[in-house]
Structure 1
Amino acid sequence: MAYPALLVGVTDCQNLDQQLGSAYELTHIATIDNIHEKTMDFSVVVINAVSLGMGQAIQSCELLKQHAKYQDSSVIVLASRDELADRMDALAAGFDDFICHDSMWELKARLDRVVFNKLANVQLKTQLQQANEMAFIAMSDTSDLGVNVQFLLDCNTCNNLDELGMRLFQALQSYGLNCSLQMRSTHGVKNMEANGMAKAMESVLLEQCKNQGRYVDFGHRSIMNYESVSLLVKNMPIHDEKKYGAIKDNVFSLLQGTHARVVALDNQKNLELEGALVKQMTQKMNQLMKHVDDSYQEVMRQIVDVVETMAEGMDNSVHFLGLDESQEMAIQKIMETGILDTNKIFNSGMTLDRELKDFLTLVEESFNQKQIDASLLNKLVERMPTEH
């Protein structure tokens, strides 16, 4: 492979052609002012300060570096003498190498080394750019992961769909997205914008597309669906394929977390409703038990009065029945046994009623608390009346 080389102010071209051989494709110009006539990109530019003078050679290098396509070209100066001041001026002007006229025999080796160094620098620059891009991607992915993890942690503290929606919009702001949100709970549907309000057109669109698959893409907009959550993204980066895919992946994980919290809120609401139902039933049972207890006490009093009246009547009448003493004793014993058995049955019923009433009272007190104690629930289960 022959590298294109530009020679500026070199008069002994034939000698250089022989020295450099076929390794370089040489182009000659008298001064740097003629550079605009050349359309080729040169790997190496050799400026002859022997014929041009060091001052003009330095000026030529500075003018060459002003051209964008020659900024990465290797520039070498051929000097008539080896002076420290000239070397410093050459380095300041941007020359890559300084070759004294007495060392022309090593020109090819010096050119080769400069070219190889330039190629190595280009490769290193490319690798650095790739490394920077990879580092930026890694930093971006790490940042996105942090946003998602923080959302998943914070969403567990949300007590309703409004709080959950606003927390999701905070996470979406980290991605620079303009969105509309719909969350479908068993207790209602919540449509939201970032300001907390709902827009009619977006709400209808999300409702109609909720069963159209995971992604519904149209223009620079995309609808993402997951179970009970649908999100309309209005500013997808369609011209950046990597960012487009990353947003879909990362935002979808946010929707999964949102759905999980919606289900949790539904379960929490159902438990609250069940608790309220049990509380109301307990209160109703207490009222009913009080009414039954009052009625029961009245019935018992009436029955006792009837039994006592019957016993008194039998006692008054037994003298007129012509019974002997043993017969009277037998009848009296039967009456006493009946009264005792009746009282025993009444007392047993009163004990059962008192236990059930105490249990219902304890249940009502438990559900009146803001947070039910687990040990108290276990105690209620243990005291639950069982079938015999």
Structure 2
Amino acid sequence: MSNRAYKVFIVDDDPSSRLVSSFCFKSAEFEVVQLESGEACLAALDQVPDIVLLDIEMPGLDGVTTCKAIREAGLMSTQVIFVSVRNDLETRLRAYDAGGNDYIVKPVLPDELEPKVAVAKHVLEQQRELEERVEQASSIAFSAMSSAAELGTVLHFLQSSFASHSVAGLNAALADALNQYGVEYILELRAGGESVCFSGQGAATQLEKSILEHVRLMDRIFQFHDRMVINYPSITLLVHGLPIEDETRLGRMRDNLALLVEGADSRLKALSGQVLLSRQARGIGDAAIRLSAALEVIEQEQATLRLNALCVMDTFIAELERSFVHLGLSERQEALLSDMARKAAAQVGGVLSQGRTTTDHLHEVGQSLRHLHAEH
């Protein structure tokens, strides 16, 4: 993985806002450039920023127009995080249509900005990793022209794998590559806590699955006669029919098959992450639904409790005042007792009303959960 610092543009016409935002980029892994306008940002694009923290409300070119120009300039991998005083859907949709990657509402707080920067870094790291893998594959291709066709199979698979959004799709890309090598195979793909076994003829048989269970415990790469096992955390591949009579071609095939499996393993890890995010999003949605249902029950119970309590206090005060004729109290004593009873009733009502504040806070939590689920 490259150790190159992340180039960060902070684009805002307010110097104090730029200064506050820059506090999140103090570590050596960031190289920060502060710019006061959209025009200045576009003029500096030759520096190729990795992350752009872009204010929307600026004189001259606003943030949305600036983002469109960034994308039109070919900087599609640059992570654009919009900053705005607005928190309405229309502004967010404009930011999305312009090619933005994230959105944060002013004032910018480190606790809110740092997680968004972490997400942007993760995306950039994946892009750098992909670029480095492509560079490595290209280097191999140029250094071994005699194996151009076999390396072409590897490169085609890597391209196809990143276009695959399911285990079945990745298996289809792997099957196409392995068939071009003319070998028989069985493999196990593991993603999202589940495993699926395939062979060159389709779904693996029970016997083939039992074989995979045993070879999964072998070394990373293990060859015996014309068979070879390749193990990675997310994939196990067993091939047979290797050209053991041609040592040179056999060596190339070992290397290329290892590259195929390593690329498949990387893609399976990404798919596992997507599955996890989907599960988390569903969990958030379910939690929001359960919270809303619980709040409805709580509010109904609180309303009934308030009503019953007030009725009890009213009945108590009425009975207390009716009992005065039998207690032989002075008018001043009766008035004092009535006043004390009414104050107590008011205090009870106040205590019961505090529950509304709690439910209001819980409603805000539920709304936040729904927004988070919608973002996924």
The answer to whether the 8 Å contact 1:183/1:189 transfers is: yes
Matched, 1:260 2:266: yes
The answer to whether the 8 Å contact 1:181/1:192 transfers is: yes
Matched, 1:279 2:279: no
**Structure 1 stretch 246-255 or stretch 347-356: which is displaced more?**
347-356
Larger Rg over CA atoms: 1
State the distance in 1 between where 2:233 and 2:312 align.
70
Match of 1:202 in 2: 208
Q: Using a 3 Å threshold, how does the CA distance of structure 1 residues 253 and 281 change in structure 2: closer, same or farther?
A: same
SS of the counterpart of 2:202? Answer: coil
> What's the CA shift for 1:287?
2.2
> What's the CA shift for 1:195?
4.5
SS of the counterpart of 2:186? Answer: strand
> What's the CA shift for 1:310?
1.0
Matched, 1:164 2:176: no
Match of 2:234 in 1: 228
State the distance in 2 between where 1:306 and 1:227 align.
67
> What's the CA shift for 1:246?
1.0
The answer to whether the 8 Å contact 1:162/1:196 transfers is: no
The answer to whether the 8 Å contact 2:192/2:271 transfers is: no
The size of the alignment, in residue pairs, is 236
The answer to whether the 8 Å contact 2:284/2:372 transfers is: no
Name the amino acid aligned to 2:251.
G
The answer to whether the 8 Å contact 1:183/1:228 transfers is: yes
Q: Tell me the TM-score normalized by structure 1.
A: 0.54
Matched, 1:291 2:297: yes
Q: Within 5 Å, give how 1:62-77 maps onto structure 2.
A: none
Match of 1:328 in 2: 334
> What's the CA shift for 1:255?
0.8
Aligned-pair identity in percent equals: 24
Name the amino acid aligned to 2:323.
S
State the distance in 1 between where 2:235 and 2:214 align.
13
**Structure 1 stretch 137-146 or stretch 210-219: which is displaced more?**
137-146
The answer to whether the 8 Å contact 1:215/1:224 transfers is: yes
> What's the CA shift for 1:305?
0.5
Match of 1:248 in 2: 254
Matched, 1:178 2:184: yes
The answer to whether the 8 Å contact 2:187/2:199 transfers is: yes
Deviation string, structure 1 residues 216-258 (Cα, Å, up to 9, x no partner): 3333232222333222222211121111111111110111121
Structure 1: runs of 5 or more not aligned: 1-134, 373-388
SS of the counterpart of 1:239? Answer: coil
The answer to whether the 8 Å contact 2:306/2:349 transfers is: no
The answer to whether the 8 Å contact 1:286/1:361 transfers is: no
Q: Using a 3 Å threshold, how does the CA distance of structure 1 residues 314 and 232 change in structure 2: closer, same or farther?
A: same
**Structure 1 stretch 243-252 or stretch 197-206: which is displaced more?**
197-206
Structure 2: runs of 5 or more not aligned: 1-140
State the distance in 2 between where 1:211 and 1:357 align.
51
Q: Using a 3 Å threshold, how does the CA distance of structure 1 residues 336 and 137 change in structure 2: closer, same or farther?
A: closer
> What's the CA shift for 1:358?
4.7
SS of the counterpart of 2:181? Answer: coil
Point out which structure has higher relative CO (alpha carbons under 8 A, 6+ apart).
2
